[in-house]
């Protein structure tokens, strides 16, 4: 379509699996808008000439209702808009719903940088590396103001908000380096909050990961260390649910609340449970958990949530239930055995 893509780039490269779909609907909307703009402009000019006043004292003719015309210009646009709606909804669902098998990466934005954590715990700043041919899910939060994660080549964009997690997914089958922008004005150096996403062949990615030096400032405590440092483990024991619910296998499960409602233990639920434990009380327990708001950084909170996600295979009810069977028998037997 464009004969000089290098000298005169009209459009960013389409480098993700949804880019084609997004472009198609965009061009459809553009074509409809162009067609009607042109049609209306031509009619305005033509009518102005054709029905112009020809003599000083000419009087206009009375209007006749053109019923068919009226129906036509109501129904045809309606049909076109319904096509846009249905098509747009389909693309929207695809773009918004991460596939089940997506790899999970964590993103923390702050003025004015991006911090990333790989599924294996590796960390990066501003420059994210991911494997090609694999769905990548980002779980994002902000330490300060609203930022926005935008990679034009992937045609995906999502606000990154303080105080909660937002999600974004993409899959790129084209190795290369793509620019990451912060797309929400976030302060003096907003325009410098630029990074990159490098898509690598899976083999190269593995090699890159294993050769990678731990990021500077890597004295970050692990979730497991924080769990005992913050004395979570004095109440949440791996083998007893007497004082507090066991967190083993909790992630992704449904949790019954004291008020009769049911919560899904996703990232936002875990976050709320830690920062604002009084908001929803787990059925059968007293509200004795202290709040950790202001005592944990976003990073520490993330590590704790990752740790809770890692203990107990999700959805594996047999394994998750096994330690629970012994709880009544030896509640209070202290903390023997480490959390797997
Ligand atoms: Cu920003």
CA distance 45 to 118: 60
Residues, CB within 5 angstroms of ligand 1 (ion): 147, 182, 186, 193
Q: Is 14 helix (H, G, I), strand (E, B) or coil?
A: coil
CA of 41 to the centre of ligand 1 (A): 41
> Has residue 57 been placed in a domain?
no
- Last residue of one domain, picked from the residues 160, 185, 211: 211
- Give kind and range of the element (H or E) at residue 264: strand 262-264
Assess whether 88 and 131 both reside in one domain: no
Distance CA 338, CA 237 (A): 9
Distance 194 CA to ligand 1 centre (A): 9
**Closest to 116 in 3D by CA, of 148, 145, 139:** 139
In a domain, 295, yes or no: yes
Domain membership of residue 61 (yes or no) is: no
Cα 298 to averaged position of ligand 1 atoms, centre (Å): 16
87 and 110 in a single domain? The answer is no
pLDDT tens for the chain, 340 residues long, are: 667 767 777 788 899 999 999 999 999 999 999 999 999 999 999 999 998 888 888 888 888 888 999 999 999 999 999 999 999 999 999 999 999 999 999 999 999 999 999 988 888 899 999 999 999 999 999 989 999 999 999 999 999 999 889 999 999 999 999 999 999 999 999 999 999 999 999 999 999 888 876 654 455 678 888 888 888 888 888 777 888 888 888 888 899 998 889 999 998 999 999 999 988 899 889 888 988 888 888 888 888 998 898 887 544 443 333 343 333 334 444 444 444 3
Domain with residue 284: its CATH number is 1.10.760.10
Domain annotation covers residue 60: no
pLDDT score of 317 = 41
In a domain, 19, yes or no: yes
- Domain of 314, in residue numbers: 223-325
Do residues 138 and 109 both lie within one domain? yes
State the virtual CA torsion across 329, 332, 333, 337 in degrees, nearest 10.
100
Ligand 1 centre to CA of 147 (Å) is: 4
Instruction: Output the pLDDT for position 16.
Output: 94
Closest CA to 128 of 62, 29, 194, 47: 194
**Which long-range contacts link 192-197 to residues 24+ away (Cβ below 8 Å)?**
192/112, 193/109, 193/111, 193/112, 193/113, 193/114, 193/147, 194/126, 195/113, 195/114, 195/126, 195/127, 195/128, 196/126, 196/127, 196/128, 197/128, 197/129, 197/130, 197/151, 197/154, 197/172
The torsion of the CA quartet 231, 232, 236, 238, rounded to 10 degrees, works out to -80
Work out how many domains the chain is built from and give that number. Answer: 3
How many Å lie between the centroid of ligand 1 and the Cα of residue 148?
Answer: 6
In a domain, 216, yes or no: no
| Burial class of residue 80 (count of CB atoms within 10 Å of its CB; 0-12, 13-18, 19+) | middle
pTM over 0.85: no
Co-location of 201 and 257 in the same domain: no
Ligand 1 center–CA 146 separation, angstroms: 7
Predicted pLDDT at 178: 94
Residue 183 resides in a domain? yes
Residue 110 shares a structural domain with residue 207: yes
For 38, 59, 62, 69, the CA distances from 52, given in Å and listed in that order, are 21, 11, 15, 22
């Amino acid at each position: 379509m464009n004969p000089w893509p290098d000298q005169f780039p009209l459009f960013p490269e389409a480098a993700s699996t949804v880019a084609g779909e997004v472009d198609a609907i965009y061009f459809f909307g553009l074509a409809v808008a162009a067609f009607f703009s042109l049609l209306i402009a031509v009619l305005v000019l033509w009518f102005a000439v054709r029905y112009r006043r020809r003599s000083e004292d000419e009087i206009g003719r009375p209007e006749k209702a053109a019923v068919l015309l009226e129906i036509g210009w109501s129904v045809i646009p309606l049909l076109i808009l319904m096509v846009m709606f249905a098509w747009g909804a389909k693309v929207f669902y695809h773009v918004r719903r991460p596939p089940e098998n997506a790899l999970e990466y964590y993103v923390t934005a702050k003025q004015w940088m991006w911090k990333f954590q790989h599924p294996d715990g590796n960390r990066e700043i501003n420059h994210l590396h991911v494997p090609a041919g694999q769905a990548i899910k980002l779980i994002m939060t902000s330490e300060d103001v609203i930022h926005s994660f935008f990679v034009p080549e992937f045609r995906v964009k999502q606000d990154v908000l303080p105080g909660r997690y937002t999600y974004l997914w993409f899959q790129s089958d084209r190795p290369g380096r793509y620019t990451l922008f912060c797309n929400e004005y976030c302060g003096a150096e907003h325009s410098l909050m630029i990074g990159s996403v490098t898509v690598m062949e899976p083999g190269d990615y593995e090699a890159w990961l294993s050769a990678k030096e731990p990021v500077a400032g890597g004295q970050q405590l692990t979730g497991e260390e924080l769990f005992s440092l913050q004395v979570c483990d004095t109440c949440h024991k791996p083998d007893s649910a007497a004082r507090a619910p066991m967190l083993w296998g909790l992630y992704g499960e449904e949790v019954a609340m004291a008020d009769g409602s049911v919560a899904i233990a996703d990232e936002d639920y875990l976050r709320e449970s830690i920062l604002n434990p009084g908001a929803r009380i787990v059925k059968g327990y007293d509200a004795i958990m202290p709040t950790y708001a202001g005592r944990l950084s976003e990073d520490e909170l993330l590590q704790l949530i990752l740790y809770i996600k890692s203990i107990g295979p999700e959805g594996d009810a047999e394994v998750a239930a096994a330690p629970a069977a012994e709880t009544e028998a030896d509640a209070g037997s202290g903390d023997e055995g480490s959390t797997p």
